Amino acid sequence: MSYLSEMSFRRGIGLMLVVLSILAGGTWMIVRLTTGHLLDEYVKATARDWAQFLAGNVTDLREIAAGEQPSAASMAFFLATRKSDQVFRYVIFNRDGYSQLIVDHDKIAVVDLSEHSPEAVRAIALGQPVVDIKRDRSPAFPAIFAEAYVPAMVGNRPVAVVAAYVDQAEASRIIYSTFLLAAVSLCLLTALAFAIPAIAWYKRTREKQQADHRIRFLAHHDALTGLANRARLIERLESALAVLPSRGGWIALHFIDLDHFKEVNDTLGHDGGDFLLNAVGQRLNTMTRIEDLVARLGGDEFIVVQTGLSTKEQAEDFARRMKSMLGATLHFKEQEIRPCVTIGVALAPADGATPERLLKSADLALYNGKAAGRNCIRFFSPEMDAAQHARLRLEKIIRDAVAANRFELHYQPLFEMNGRRLVGFEALVRLPDPDDGLIPPAAFIPMAEEMRLIDKIGEWALREACRTAAAWPKTLTVAVNLSSAQFDSGELPRVVAAALKETGLEAHRLELEITESLLLRNNEKNMTQLHELKAMGASIVMDDFGTGYSSLSYLWRFPFDKIKIDRSFMQGLGSSGHDAETVVKTIIALGRELRMRVTVEGVETADQVDFLYDADADQVQGFYFGRPVPASEIAPALLKAARDTAAPQTKEPGSKTRLKFVS
């Protein structure tokens, strides 16, 4: 809650309490005044009634007022009335206001020395009762009592005044207590009536303030970890960079990314992923200073900003300690989590003078670390910026080429070793560079896979290769490489069938090449699609056999039609002793036993041709027999292959018979 909103809230609470106090106090005063008025009226009425009762029952009031003794009947009446708990005194006055007889609890006597009473005179003058209330603290009188002066009339003439003194202390206490209870109850009801909406207002105001506080917090903090978010990070970076020229030193921005975080979510669920993210945030908080900043950008990306550094080595040391601490084992529901992180570091002002530039530099360093194999620390260098520009340019070229079908297919010939016969071509995707030449497949294929466009490129290549091969002689096949991404949708058999139908190419002339990475996933859906493609009549080829995770189990798990030995074995001939030769011969023999044809890639020299001839390879492919060429240049190649087929065998003295190929 901000200071201004807190002060406003406190003023509202204070005003509410003041209003409540005024209402309660006003209610109390009204009840008190009302109680006093009613009590006075009750006391007066009681005293007047007693005086009138006396005046009506004493028949010789004129005589008593004249100074005579009361009659026996009057004495009996006085004796009876003085037993009352309320009336504690009677006084009879003459017409001039002088007392003549006093009756109280102690005596009944004619007054020897009269006292003059102005109230008695006023009652005679008015011809009606005069009542007054007295409050006395002396022990001779009650705390509160009433005096009622009632004129005794004979005909229309007053002959005496009867005064009755009534004790009202107990009545006052009862009435006051009753009305006090009523006053308290009324005050409570008033307070309650005010408090219910006041409490509701207070609760709503408090909830609104808490919601506002939460909104302001979330505007600058991550909801999951409570760390600063991007907006807060930019604010702090702007402030730190603004004072950097005057203070000197360095600012280090550490861009942290959890390696293989998706695997944690996949194996432990999102609860496990959230647990790991919170644990990383807590660990970063424990090892940073108050002046540093820890932020989460989203996903599994964190930022730590160090300020006030004097050397680059301080940033390096902190990054190493941070990597070590974050890599410590965690336990979640009896499961172990061993985090690995990649950290990219950028230093200001050298690597950026604005928050955006500094973040970009650290991100480039992080990307470089991930490309290098992850679980490492990389500092930004200008070369990374150049590589990023090249990457962005390549991404644009690929995206434009997919949208406008600017890819090309080049075709490399495949020859049978036995019979010197051209049997087909492999279709290879090429990407023209808008400036000049072709972009190497090793550069754009991984990028297209990362951009998730390889399936579209593969579908285009399949249709284009089938369309081109449909115009070739029926004896020639065309081989097309398939990406693992093309199997993900489960629609590959439908796509292949559509391409064959659209182009009119016979299914047995189509060879579909896959790599071992597809089989590594051991996905039943992938195996089902492979069987459907084979049932369609297409040949299934295992490409690049002998590299990566090669396993003989692949060869019996699926009945491949052909195995292609990777070009790296041909490059290793002569430089690795006899190891490469032994492996190649073994694979060829294995393929023959499994009734699978074997193609050797990367054949570039005559010596390699001789070796493969002796090894009894089925097919060969490489620069020695022809480089990949566009479809428009295939016709001359076919004529050349026909001439090669017609060329006679030659036999050199002391050598085996060799097939002569013209490159």
Between these two residues, 48 and 543, which has the higher pLDDT value?
543
Beta-carbon contacts of 517 under 8 Å, excluding residues fewer than 6 positions away, are 484, 548, 549
Q: Which CATH class is domain 28-172?
A: alpha beta
Both tokens of 88, joined, read 């504690």
pLDDT tens for 379-394 read 999 999 888 888 889 9
Fold for 406-646, please state it. TIM Barrel (3.20.20)
> Token pair 């297919």 is at which residue?
409
Least confident of 131-140, 220-229, 422-431, 508-517: 131-140
**CA-CA distance, 448 to 443, in Å (whole number)?**
9
pLDDT higher than 90, residue 654:
no
Helix and strand tally (H, E) in the chain? 21, 23
Tell the burial category of 593 from Cβ atoms under 10 Å away from its Cβ (0-12, 13-18, 19+).
exposed
Laid out side by side, the sheet with 301-309 consists of 293-298, 301-309, 250-258, 341-348, 377-379
Least confident of 20-29, 157-166, 427-436, 440-449: 20-29
Q: Which pLDDT band holds residue 210 (cuts at 50, 70, 90)? A: low
Between these two residues, 597 and 110, which has the higher pLDDT value?
597
Beta-carbon contacts of 571 under 8 Å, excluding residues fewer than 6 positions away, are 602
pLDDT higher than 80, residue 428:
yes
pLDDT higher than 80, residue 414:
yes
pLDDT higher than 90, residue 349:
yes
Label the pairing between strands 629-630 and 421-432. Answer: unpaired
pLDDT of the residue at 641: 60
Q: Are 54 and 81 in contact (CB under 8 A)?
A: yes
Label the pairing between strands 301-309 and 293-298. Answer: antiparallel
- For the segment 566-571, the average pLDDT, to the nearest whole number, is 88
Least confident of 55-64, 542-551, 647-656: 647-656
pLDDT of the residue at 388: 83
pLDDT of the residue at 46: 73
What pairs with residue 344 in β-bridges?
255, 378
Whole-angstrom CA distances from 203 to 21, 266, 362, 610, 644 are 20, 43, 47, 92, 95
pLDDT higher than 80, residue 179:
no
Query: Residue 489: how many CB atoms within 10 A of its CB?
Result: 12
Residue ranges per structural domain of the chain: 28-172, 230-380, 406-646
Least confident of 102-111, 255-264, 326-335, 440-449: 102-111
Find, among 272, 254, 256, the residue nearest to 264 by Cα: 272
pTM metric for this prediction: 0.58
pLDDT higher than 50, residue 95:
yes
Both tokens of 637, joined, read 């190649």
Between these two residues, 456 and 190, which has the higher pLDDT value?
456
For CA atoms 24, 25, 31, 32, give the dihedral sign. positive
- For the segment 136-152, the average pLDDT, to the nearest whole number, is 77
> What percent of the chain clears pLDDT 90, i.e. is strictly above it?
43
Both tokens of 541, joined, read 């080829």
Q: Are 92 and 99 in contact (CB under 8 A)?
A: yes
Between these two residues, 573 and 499, which has the higher pLDDT value?
499
Least confident of 2-16, 179-193, 626-640: 2-16
**CA-CA distance, 624 to 338, in Å (whole number)?**
50
The per-residue DSSP string of 312-355 comes to: HHHHHHHHHHHHHHHTS-EEETTEEE---EEEEEEEETTT-SSH
pLDDT tens for 520-556 read 765 788 889 999 999 999 999 999 887 765 556 667 7
Find, among 146, 200, 129, 154, the residue nearest to 59 by Cα: 154
Q: Are 644 and 420 in contact (CB under 8 A)?
A: yes
Tell the burial category of 189 from Cβ atoms under 10 Å away from its Cβ (0-12, 13-18, 19+).
exposed
pLDDT tens for 325-339 read 999 999 998 889 999
| Domain made up of 230-380: CATH architecture | 2-Layer Sandwich (3.30)
Residues 314, 319, 321: CA angle, nearest 5 degrees: 95
pLDDT of the residue at 5: 55
> Token pair 């150049």 is at which residue?
386
The per-residue DSSP string of 444-493 comes to: HHHHHHHTT-HHHHHHHHHHHHHHHHTTS-TT-EEEEE--THHHHTS-HH
- The residue length of the chain stands at 663
**CA-CA distance, 174 to 153, in Å (whole number)?**
35
pLDDT higher than 70, residue 462:
yes
pLDDT higher than 70, residue 570:
yes
